Amino acid sequence: MILPKTVIIAGQPSICAGSSCNKGMRQFQAEDEFWSTYLEAAREEDEWRPKDWDGNTGSILTFTGLFAATVAAFVIESYKSLAPDSGDQTVELLTQLLAVATNGTSSSSLGDIARSPPFAASTLDVLANAFWFCSLSVSLVCALLATLIQQWSRDYVRDIRRKQTLDESIRGRAFNHIYVRMGVNRYGMDQMVSWLVALVHLAVALFAAGLFLFLYSINSPVAICATTVQPW
């Protein structure tokens, strides 16, 4: 009777004999060498890619924080022009009552006071406030997206640099790396950072447009000068 070349014992690794065992070992070593080369080649990109994300989002967070505070200061003063001023209404009412008392009370005069025209905000005030509120909203969205990208970047670094377990092969580690990279590319992390920069530019453009309209309603030469020095 001819015994098989491979004998399998429960609880023990398989024992092989002959050239087939050596061939399998060489194939296994070649595969490990291939995946080790892949991980080594991807290590450089794994280092600079999260740094690029964190660098861009960190600068954006700093800028949007200062910019949103600036826009909010303008909004606090400008939104008052969208509603009637109670102080001005009181002064106008007292002036009309004083005029009626001076000229003599009459029903027609009292009717004119009651029929005072309703308040209507000017078109320039409405547009300026609309631009500034949109600019503030876009700035807050940029800050939120920047914090999310930073969190995703930390998760990416943690998954890429996680410690290798004892029962994990080089092939399994490489497959995990490919899976993480495919997820990052699928959701467009690099493109998201570019879109984030574009949103910051949009917020600045909206603020500049609102500033021009706000100044134009007060003094047109000042508005023209402010628009001229803008870096368009």
- In DSSP notation, 70-128 reads HHHHHHHHHGGGGS--HHHHHHHHHHHHHHHHHH---HHHHHHHHTPPPP---HHHHHH
For the ranges 109-118, 144-153, 176-185, the maximum mean pLDDT occurs at 144-153
In a domain, 203, yes or no: yes
Return the half-sphere exposure (C-beta side, CA atoms, 13 A cut-off) of residue 53: 24
Last residue of a domain, one of 72, 95, 120: 120
Residue 138 has a CB neighbour count (10 Å cut-off) of 23
Q: Are 75 and 89 contained in the same domain?
A: no
How many residues belong to the chain? 232
> Distances in Å between the alpha carbon of 53 and those of 63, 64, 67, 180?
16, 16, 21, 16
Long-range contacts of 51-56 (CB under 8 A, 24+ apart): 52/193, 53/149, 53/150, 53/152, 53/153, 53/189, 53/193, 54/150, 54/153, 56/193, 56/196, 56/197
Q: Domain of residue 102: give its range.
A: 84-120
- Give the rounded percent of residues in the chain with a pLDDT score beyond 90: 25
Asked if the structure places residue 134 within a domain, the reply is yes
Per the CB < 8 A criterion, the answer to whether 77 and 191 are in contact is: no
Query: Per the domain annotation, does 8 fall within a domain?
Result: no
As for how many domains the chain has, the answer is: 2
Residue 107 placed within a domain: yes
Binned at pLDDT 50, 70 and 90, residue 9 comes out as very low
pLDDT of residue 76: 92
Looking at the fold, whether 115 and 125 belong to one and the same domain comes out as no
Confidence band for 97, pLDDT divided at 50, 70 and 90 = low
